[in-house]
Amino acid sequence: MIFDRSENKEAIALLGAGSMGTAILRRIAAGKKILLGDISEKNLERVSQDLRYSGYDVETCVVNALEKDSVEAFAEKAASLGPVMYFIDTAGASPNQASPEHILKLDMVGTGYAVDAFGKVMGRGGAGLIISSQTGYMHRLPDEVELEILSTPTEKLMDIPYIREVAMERSGIAYMIAKRVNHLQAQKAAATTWKERRARINTISPGVIVTPLAYDEFSASGEGYQAMVDASAAERCGTSDEIAEAGAFLLGEHARFITGTDLLIDGGVIAAIRTGTYKLGI
């Protein structure tokens, strides 16, 4: 049985075959060619099988988001499959999963490698989405540091004094800063490399979304998370499907005027923090 005879399909690359990324794919990938990238072969096998059994056309690629060459090879592989019209980056580690250095190298530098690499292969009219975090709103960077980040190439981000001195202190701070840098990376790409290819790029900053990563966070800092979620307007955690609805919108044709921006989807956590309804215990 041949399920799909179409040729010259558009390619969609997902870096980090996790819960939110695959939920987005299920909304936009019918009739397209998916390239799934992840460091874990086990994840790739499980997720690709699941998607194939749901009718999607999937290829897999082992990729380490920490390594520039690996990410570039991933982008080139995506381009070899068809015009790359969508790129989604969800590869990340959370505070209770890794050291400050690992978080900065993966969530900040690794994301930068991916934005740079896909900035060379995106098709005209294509769109990208980086999954950042509500924590990107929890630690305000001084204006001069943001300007320095915007003008620093990805390879040199770890050398910025503020990153070396403040971000390396603790995994929680490293994560907040890395996720704020994701917003800046999307702004920069939207105005430069991605703009030149007539492609758009945005970020989503989710609140607490129930995924394997969130289970790790809850088992390590459950009480703090519970208090934060209880103080939010939604009074609950979110689901990957709720993030995917917004992701599909930002990647789709109704969002053609939206680029270089962030969409915070947190059930009201940041509103609670900003208004003092909830006091963040950093």
Q: Catalogue the active-site residues.
A: 175, 179
Please tell me whether residue 264 binds ligand NAD under the rule CB under 6 A.
no
Nearer to ligand NAD, 35 or 197 (CB): 35
Nearer to ligand NAD, 106 or 184 (CB): 106
Please tell me whether residue 73 binds ligand NAD under the rule CB under 6 A.
no
Please tell me whether residue 39 binds ligand NAD under the rule CB under 6 A.
yes
Amino acid making up residue 240 = S
In the complex, least distance from residue 231 CB atom to ligand NAD, rounded to whole angstroms: 16
Q: Are 132 and 183 in contact (CB under 8 A)?
A: yes
Please tell me whether residue 20 binds ligand NAD under the rule CB under 6 A.
yes
Residues 80-119: x where in contact with ligand NAD by CB under 6 A, - otherwise, as a string: ----------xxxxx-----------xx------------
In the complex, least distance from residue 157 CB atom to ligand NAD, rounded to whole angstroms: 16
Q: Are 160 and 148 in contact (CB under 8 A)?
A: yes
Residues 206-225: x where in contact with ligand NAD by CB under 6 A, - otherwise, as a string: x-xx-xxxx-----------
Please tell me whether residue 40 binds ligand NAD under the rule CB under 6 A.
yes
Q: Residues in the site for ligand NAD, rule: CB under 6 A?
A: 16-20, 38-40, 43, 63-66, 90-94, 106-107, 131, 133, 206, 208-209, 211-214
